[in-house]
Structure 1
Amino acid sequence: MRVAVIDLGTNTFHLLIAETAGNQPEILYKTNVPVKLGEGRINDNMIIPAAFERGINCLKDFGKTITDYQVDVVRATATSAVRSAENGKDFVNAVNERTGIKIETISGDEEAELIYRGVKLSGAIQEPSLIMDIGGGSVEFILCDTEKLIWKKSYNIGAARLMQKFFKSDPLSDSEKQNMLFHIQEQLEDLFEICEKYKPQILIGSAGAFETFAELVTGKHHQNIAIEQLKMYLFNYDDYIDVALKLINSTHQQRVEMPGIIPLRVDMIVIAALITNYVLGRVKINRLMLSTYDLKMGVLASLM
């Protein structure tokens, strides 16, 4: 069976087309487009007109590709930006009318479940682990071991939300850092309580920002590794911390000049580094792994 998975993220829309015969899916086509659906007014729960149109135009293009590949089944999932927007249903209806693509708006819990399934498919879960997925609108945490998912939750502290609320200086000022970390601390109290009980041994970062961290770490050592072709990547912890602190203290222009950061992530990567460092510190974890398999692969796993 040939399936297409569309992931409508707050920042990026992804399309994955795969053949699902056999145990492992064969990826036939993969692309992503920086639609920035959450641009401008994500904290007002509104998709602005320009972003609305970008989203529809992107999905028209995806529709053409899906037709070209003669796909049997399409599953399109929308997450935080659509879920929380007052005009989210209008967007879903407009997409259906203008492209024929039916979008399923999933809850934060369903999103976390699918992220878990994607990461599990990569083989990254080899001990008690805390999985973290930093999106533009929300951040998902999943506590698991090799056997099962133990606990999961989605928080509205995504990089686009925090950036629009707190990130006003260049570089990020100390007071902005403190305000942001205070806000994160308030939101994540129950996460820290449950981690105290189950004591995860490693943080597994699901794709996105963690792929950028990996690009920067391997680039720093002049290693020619194609991150997107790996299922997982184990960080040297000191290397990660060094890169994260450099990002947090850099100016916008300095980040633009860093090879390995895609334009969409130039500013949001600062937020991602801050949240990741804070969680690692609070949960007392000093091991970090990237899983390049994320929500898309979880949706694919559910279709197999």
Structure 2
Amino acid sequence: MRIAAIDLGTNTFHLLIAEVGGANINVLFKTNVPVKLGEGRINENVIIPAAFERGISCLKDFNSKIIDFGVDTVVATATSAVRSAQNGQEFVAAAKAEANISIAVISGDEEAELIYKGVKLSGAVSARSLIMDIGGGSVEFILCDEDELIWKKSYNIGAARLMQQFFKTDPISDNDKNAILFHIQNELADLFEIAAQFQPTTLIGSAGAFETFAELIERKHLRTIDLANLKTYQFNFDDYIAISLQLLNATHQQRAEMPGMIPLRIDMVMMATLITNYVLGRLKINNLVLSTYDLKMGIIANALNNA
């Protein structure tokens, strides 16, 4: 059976097409497009017209690829940007009418559940862990171990939201950093309470910005990394801290020129860095792992379980 998993993120739309049989998953095609659905007015809960059109155009292209691959089942999920937008249902209706793609707008809890299933499929969970998925609109945290999901929650502190609200200086000023960290601290109060109780020893970063961190580190050491063929990546903690400080002290132009940086993340990665460093420091965790499997693979895992 061929399954297409579509993840309509706030910044990026993802398409993954896989052949699924038994317990086997063979990825046939994978792409992502920087649609920037949350551009401009995400904190006002509006998809602006230009972003709306980019999103529908991207879904039309995805549908052509789905037809080309003879896909049997399409599962498309929309997360924070569509979930919170006043015109989110208009976008869902346009996607069906113009691109023939039916979108399920999922809750933050459902999003976290799918992320957990995807990350677990990668093999990244080998101890008491906290999974973190940093999107443009929301950030999901999942506390888990090898056997079970213990706790999960989605917070509206995604990179696009933080950028539009707080990021006003280049390089980022101490005032901007402190405003972001104060906001994160207040928003994540219950996360730190549950983490104090269960004491995770590993932070697992789900794809996204964590792939950029890995790429930047490897390129800095003049090495290459093929993330498309990796399920997990173990960070050297000192390397991560060094690259995070370099990012936080750099200008927009300096970040743009860093080998391994992709255009979409030049500024977004700053927000991801601040959140990651704060969580690592607050929870005293020094073991950081990347899972390249995320929500999309969670969709595939669901299909495997239901087959």
- When normalised by structure 1's length, the TM-score is 0.99
Query: Does the alignment pair 1:212 with 2:202?
Result: no
Counterpart of 2:104 in 1: which secondary structure?
Answer: strand
CA distance in 2, matches of 1:239, 1:24: 34
- Return the offset for 1:95: 0.8
State the match for 1:75 in structure 2. 75
- Return the offset for 1:224: 2.0
Q: Tell me which amino acid in the other structure corresponds to 2:51.
A: A
CA contact (8 A) 2:215 2:260 kept: yes
Instruction: Give runs of ≥4 in structure 1 deviating > 4 Å.
Output: none
State the match for 1:274 in structure 2. 274
CA distance in 1, matches of 2:254, 2:197: 41
**Counterpart mapping for 1:142-157 below 5 A:** 142-157=142-157
**Counterpart mapping for 1:23-172 below 5 A:** 23-172=23-172
- Unaligned runs of 5+ residues in structure 1 are none
State the match for 1:183 in structure 2. 183
Q: Tell me which amino acid in the other structure corresponds to 2:50.
A: A
Cα deviations by residue, 1:174-228 (Å, 9 ceiling, x for unpaired): 0000001000000000000000000001000000000000001111111222123
State the match for 1:221 in structure 2. 221
**Counterpart mapping for 1:190-209 below 5 A:** 190-209=190-209
CA contact (8 A) 2:130 2:143 kept: yes
CA distance in 1, matches of 2:246, 2:172: 12
CA distance in 2, matches of 1:151, 1:233: 24
- Unaligned runs of 5+ residues in structure 2 are none
Cα deviations by residue, 1:23-55 (Å, 9 ceiling, x for unpaired): 121000000000000000000000000000000
CA distance in 1, matches of 2:34, 2:215: 19
Cα deviations by residue, 1:72-99 (Å, 9 ceiling, x for unpaired): 0000000000000000001001111111
Q: Tell me which amino acid in the other structure corresponds to 2:92.
A: V
Counterpart of 2:212 in 1: which secondary structure?
Answer: helix
Q: How many residues align?
A: 304
RMSD of equivalent CA atoms: 0.6
Q: Tell me which amino acid in the other structure corresponds to 2:193.
A: E
- Return the offset for 1:267: 0.2
- Return the offset for 1:289: 0.3
CA distance in 2, matches of 1:120, 1:89: 31
CA contact (8 A) 2:136 2:159 kept: yes
Counterpart of 1:150 in 2: which secondary structure?
Answer: strand
